[in-house]
């Protein structure tokens, strides 16, 4: 595990730890919520996955575990001595914000023992003050909504050295058979000349060289591809920065056999050459 980045997410109840672990999971990290601190050393010895399959490891640990306070320091110190790339992230928020969040979610505070909510918040804050000092990074989430906090955590995750790249899938389809429900971006290429109306091309598909030549020689096709590929070159890094793990780009024509296949193949080759982790399929080419 020495070559994997390890994040420990901890801090005050209601500070956004669930949002943080979700952001790490979307970024390709192997995540465990409410991990017992005493099991961490043994867990890190397990052959989970190779480093090229996951971006890193992220664990949420906090006062939900009874022995957390008494054991965390010795466990974390022992892991650091092994040379692992290890970071403790402490999340906190102002008292009035925590009160508001617990009120909105109607959750019980994990320290509920016949005391008021504000008393439990203050007790937890006092119990965790040494851990806050011990942590590598402290984030106050008071002024961030869920989406803003997720973006902050995603940015931290994507700057770690073993980040898993966004997976892109190119999909061609025919509008007559319906729009793919998993599409993120959809481009309609029915404005291009249709090979279907050429008798010698009708029974072929977009993977045939004759169909490719017919579609790609068009002035409109060349102009469209130039502009659309420039747009994708601009968008891809922004989607990755936002923390998107998967992106499906769907290209549609009338039947999904000719134009959409040719164009999706051209986009696929362009993004593959740019280093994107990309796959391609043609949903309706056989219909």
DSSP string, 148-205: HHHHHHHHHHHTSTTPPPPEEEEEEEEGGG---TT-SEEEE-TTSPPGGGSTTTTTS-
The ranges assigned to domains in the chain are 5-158, 167-282
Highest mean pLDDT of the ranges 49-58, 95-104, 216-225: 216-225
- The pLDDT score that the predictor gives to residue 2 is 54
C-alpha distances (whole Å) from 268 to each of 91, 115, 265, 275 are: 40, 59, 5, 11
The answer to whether residue 28 scores a pLDDT higher than 80 is: yes
- The pLDDT score that the predictor gives to residue 20 is 96
- Choice between 168 and 83, residue whose per-residue pLDDT is larger: 168
Model confidence at 170, in pLDDT bands (50, 70, 90)?
very high
Model confidence at 142, in pLDDT bands (50, 70, 90)?
very high
The answer to whether residue 162 scores a pLDDT higher than 80 is: no
pTM of the predicted model, to two decimals? 0.61
DSSP string, 215-235: HHTSHHHHHHHHHHHHHHHHH
**How many angstroms from the chain centroid is the CA of residue 42?**
27
Alpha-carbon torsion angle 182, 184, 189, 195, nearest 10: -30
Model confidence at 87, in pLDDT bands (50, 70, 90)?
very high
Name the CATH superfamily for 5-158: P-loop containing nucleotide triphosphate hydrolases (3.40.50.300)
C-alpha distances (whole Å) from 180 to each of 109, 187, 217, 265 are: 43, 12, 28, 17
Q: Cβ(62)–Cβ(17) under 8 Å?
A: yes
Q: Mean of the pLDDT values across residues 232-251?
A: 88
Mean pLDDT of the chain: 91
Q: Which residues are CB-neighbours of 216 under 8 A, at least 6 positions away?
A: 222, 262, 266
C-alpha distances (whole Å) from 90 to each of 128, 131, 137, 152 are: 10, 8, 6, 14
Give me the sheet containing 85-92, strands edge to edge. 29-32, 56-60, 5-11, 85-92, 137-140
């Amino acid at each position: 595990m020495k070559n994997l980045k390890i994040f420990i997410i901890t801090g005050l109840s209601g500070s956004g730890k669930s949002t943080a672990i979700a952001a790490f999971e979307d970024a390709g990290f192997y995540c465990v919520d409410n991990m017992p601190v005493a099991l961490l050393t043994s867990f890190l010895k397990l052959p989970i996955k190779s480093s090229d399959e996951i971006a890193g490891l992220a664990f949420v640990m906090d006062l939900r575990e009874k022995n957390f306070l008494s054991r965390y320091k010795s466990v974390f110190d022992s892991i650091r001595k092994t040379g692992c790339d290890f970071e403790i992230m402490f999340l906190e928020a102002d008292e009035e914000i925590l009160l508001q969040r617990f009120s909105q979610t109607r959750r019980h505070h994990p320290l509920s023992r016949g005391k008021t909510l504000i008393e439990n918040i203050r007790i937890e804050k006092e119990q965790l003050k040494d851990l806050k000092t011990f942590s590598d990074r402290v984030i106050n989430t008071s002024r961030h909504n869920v989406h803003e906090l997720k973006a902050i955590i995603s940015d931290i995750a994507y700057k770690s050295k073993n980040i898993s790249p966004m997976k892109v899938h190119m999909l061609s389809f025919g509008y007559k058979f319906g729009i793919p429900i998993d599409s993120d971006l959809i481009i309609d290429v029915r404005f291009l000349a249709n090979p279907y109306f050429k008798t010698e091309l009708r029974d072929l598909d977009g993977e045939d060289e004759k169909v490719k030549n017919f579609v790609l020689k068009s002035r409109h096709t060349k102009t469209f591809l130039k502009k659309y590929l420039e747009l994708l070159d601009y968008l891809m890094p922004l989607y990755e920065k936002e923390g998107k793990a998967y992106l499906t780009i769907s290209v549609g024509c009338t039947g999904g056999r000719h134009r959409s296949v040719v164009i999706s193949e051209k986009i696929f080759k362009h993004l593959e050459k740019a280093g994107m982790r990309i796959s391609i399929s043609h949903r309706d080419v056989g219909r």
